Every structure is written in C-alpha cells, then in structure tokens.
Amino acid sequence: MIHSLVINKLRELRVLLLSATVCCVMTGCGNAISDINDTYLSRLANTLNLSPPDTVKLSNLNVPHYEFTAQQQTTIGLLQLAQLNQCKLAGLVAEHNNQLGKTASPANVFKYHLEFIQASQQCLQTLPAEQKVHQQIMAASNTKKRDLIHYFNAMLYNEIELARAWQLTYTPLTMTTAGVVETEHALSYFIKIKQHIASNDIANIDSLEIVKQLEILNTFRFNQKLISSARQQAAYNQITSQFLKQVDLQSLCRKSRNNQQATILHNIFNKFYLKKIQPYQAYLVGTLERMLPLYETLWQSPALNVLLDDNSEQHLLNNLKSSAKQHVIWWQKFYKTCEISPT
C-alpha cells in the first residue's frame, strides 16, 4: 500500500516537472523581455502609488497584396513543343502547363518565368530563325523579360516566407536567437536577383537557390522576430516614459521627506532597465543596423515607408533609439533632482 502511494506520488511529481518544463519552453520561465518590461512598469507604478498604463498594443501594417496582371502571353502549343526536341524549355513549359500553372506559389511563378527566359536562349540557338516556333519563343521570352520585375515583386510581397517579415509575432527576438547570418545571406541573395533584373543580367541568376533561401527564411523567421521586437520595445519605452512624466519630481525629492521612495525607484531602474532592458535594446539596435540596409534595398513600398523611411517618426531604428533616449533623460532629471548617485 505504502509502496503504491509512493509510486503514485512520484508519477504526479514527474507530471508536474514535465509541465513546468513545457511552461519554461513556451514562456521562457517568466524571463521573456515583455515580462521584464511589464514587471518594470508595474514596480514603478506600485512604488509611486499610481495605476499602471494599459499594456502595449501594436497593430499589423496594412501591406497591400501585390497585384499584377500580365498582358496576353504568346502561347506555345503541343505541336510547337514537339519541335523543341531536346531543348530544356520543352519540359519546363510542359510541366508548367500540366501542374504548376494552376497552383504555383508566387515564388514558383517567378522561378518558372525566370527559367523560361534562361532556357529560351539556348533553345533559340538550335532552331532556324524562320520557324514559327522560333518567333514564338523569342516573343514570349521578351515579354517575360519585360514583366520579370513584376513577378519578382509578387514573390517579394505575396510569398509568405518574405511577406510575414512585416507581420507581428508573439515570439520575441532574444539575444541568443539563431539565424542572423543565414537570414542576412538569404536577403542578400534576393537583392542580387533584383539587381540582376535591373541590369538585364538574367542569365546569372541562380534559380535553384530560390526555394532553398525561402526555406531558410521560414526556418528562422528572424526578420519577423526582429521587426516585431523592435516595434514592441520602442512602444514600451514610450509608454513607460509617458507614465513617468506625471510624477512631480520636486515633491518626490524634497529634502524634508524620507527619500526611501526615491531609493526604491533607483533600485527598480537599476535592476530592470540598466541590467536587463538596456542590454537587450543595445542588441536590437546593433542587429537593426546590420539588417536595415537589406530591408531598405529589398522592400521599397509606400506601405512600408512608415518603418523604413528615415523621416518617419516610426522608423524602426530611429524610433527605438529616440524612445530609449527620452526614457533615460527622465531618469537623469530624477537623479539630479533627488541628488542620488545613479551608481
């Protein structure tokens, strides 16, 4: 009987430990940066006997779906395909007509048109110029070259692995999050595609890398985590600073009263902001400085100017820096007024 009770208790303990482990994995055991910011704000409010402000609420950007309707394309029928013999183009067109043409993702649509242009050059060299199929392939290739940037933009703004970068996520970027090098390489690859299209150097685009680089972006989702975290941290800074502005520093720090409240505030600032939030912000700033040039080169849409235009108040990097600066300025006034050393 006793042995059975012990076994049951051990089982219950094992379940509790397992649940705690899962909880830690899902929430970071309460050490997520949002939890730290919330705790920082609530401790300040409790010490000042004030009601804390509402929690940070961000909204997704309204990035329009990229719409492009190609003009009537030159069609290549079955009889013409039969004349292509060993041309790679024959298999490419047949596969597109049979399968991908109806269900292809924006990335696969771009890949098809890119590979058509590349394959057509080799194929044209094997066909007499007077043949109708030669003229059809040349006309189709020229049309696809003209429209290739539109297919690229459709991939850039509509393919989920790229488009989700601008949507909010509940998964924050941490200082140990993997994927920055891989993401940087992937975005550089897509920038090179854009540059090759602009310079009409289409032959040097490696189409086989498209799916691979999209898979890398999907694996790490680094851009989405970085952009969401930067926006959220800037919002936390602004809300906390706005909250502290209502504090009458002269009353808080007057010499006739016990400065215990000011000392507690100093301890809160030191424990949460200086030791935890500020190093995290420095990491965000450094990472944004690394990634923003890629974002600004790759995505050039009016809908994204709010985060990427230097003149925008919500510019990802400038907003984070300025919000942190304004927050520190309040604390500098606090230390000066209360005559407390910040160290």
Residuewise pLDDT in 10s, the chain (343 residues): 434 433 443 344 343 333 333 333 333 334 599 999 999 999 999 999 999 998 878 999 999 999 988 776 666 655 565 566 667 887 787 777 776 546 789 999 999 999 999 998 888 887 777 778 888 888 889 999 999 999 999 999 999 999 999 999 999 999 999 999 999 999 999 999 999 999 999 999 999 999 999 999 999 999 999 999 999 999 999 999 999 999 999 999 987 566 899 999 999 999 999 999 999 999 999 999 999 999 999 999 999 999 999 999 999 999 999 999 999 999 999 999 999 988 7
pLDDT at 134: 83
End-to-end CA distance of the chain: give it in Å, rounded: 61
- Residue 28 domain flag: no
- Residue 3 domain flag: no
- Residue 32 domain flag: no
Among residues 183, 199, 220, which one ends one of the domains? Answer: 220
pLDDT at 17: 36
- Residue 124 domain flag: yes
Question: Are 236 and 174 part of one and the same domain?
Answer: no
Question: Are 215 and 82 part of one and the same domain?
Answer: yes
Question: Are 48 and 111 part of one and the same domain?
Answer: no
Question: Are 310 and 291 part of one and the same domain?
Answer: yes
Question: Are 160 and 201 part of one and the same domain?
Answer: yes
Question: Are 207 and 313 part of one and the same domain?
Answer: no
Question: Are 170 and 41 part of one and the same domain?
Answer: no
Among residues 220, 241, 269, which one ends one of the domains? Answer: 220
The structural domain count of the chain equals: 2
Question: Are 208 and 227 part of one and the same domain?
Answer: no
- Residue 7 domain flag: no
Question: Are 184 and 118 part of one and the same domain?
Answer: yes
- Residue 29 domain flag: no
pLDDT at 343: 79
Question: Are 110 and 184 part of one and the same domain?
Answer: yes
Among residues 220, 245, 261, which one ends one of the domains? Answer: 220
- Residue 107 domain flag: yes
Question: Are 185 and 209 part of one and the same domain?
Answer: yes
CA distance 327 to 333: 10
Instruction: Summarize pLDDT for 109-129 with one digit per residue, the tens.
Output: 999 999 999 998 888 887 777
Question: Are 130 and 106 part of one and the same domain?
Answer: yes
Determine the structural domain holding residue 238 and report its residue range.
37-54+223-338
- Residue 27 domain flag: no
For the full predicted model, state whether its pTM sits above 0.95: no
CA distance 247 to 53: 14
